[in-house]
Amino acid sequence: MMNSRRHKTVSKNFEDMTFKEQNRAMNRNALQFRRQLIIHLRTAKADGQCPKEVLDGRVRLLGRLFEGHAKEIVSV
């Protein structure tokens, strides 16, 4: 799965990272998601899909994810 040389130097799991390292990793993931979303919306448009509807679907998905997590935090 992780074949690039850069990944071979990674020795920590997310759980083993410090808060600062986790923050950096999450920021990288967010930027990667943004790039993927832009490409996905372009592809949707090229396939005749409505990019706004596709984007709204992603927003709903992320909303459900955060809502579920917020409920978990409140119940702890």
Residue 65 located in a structural domain: yes
Residue 38's domain spans which residues? Answer: 19-75
Domain count, the chain: 1
Residue 12 located in a structural domain: no
Residue 8 located in a structural domain: no
DSSP letter for each residue of 8-63: HT----GGGS-HHHHHHHHHHHHHHHHHHHHHHHHHHHHTT--HHHHHHHHHHHHH
Residue 45 located in a structural domain: yes
Residue 7 located in a structural domain: no
For 20-54, write each residue's pLDDT tens digit.
999 999 999 999 999 999 999 999 999 999 999 99
Residue range 46-64: mean pLDDT, rounded: 96
Radius of gyration of the chain (CA): 17
Residue 52 located in a structural domain: yes
Residue 6 located in a structural domain: no
Residue 2 located in a structural domain: no
Q: Judge whether residue 66 has pLDDT over 70.
A: yes
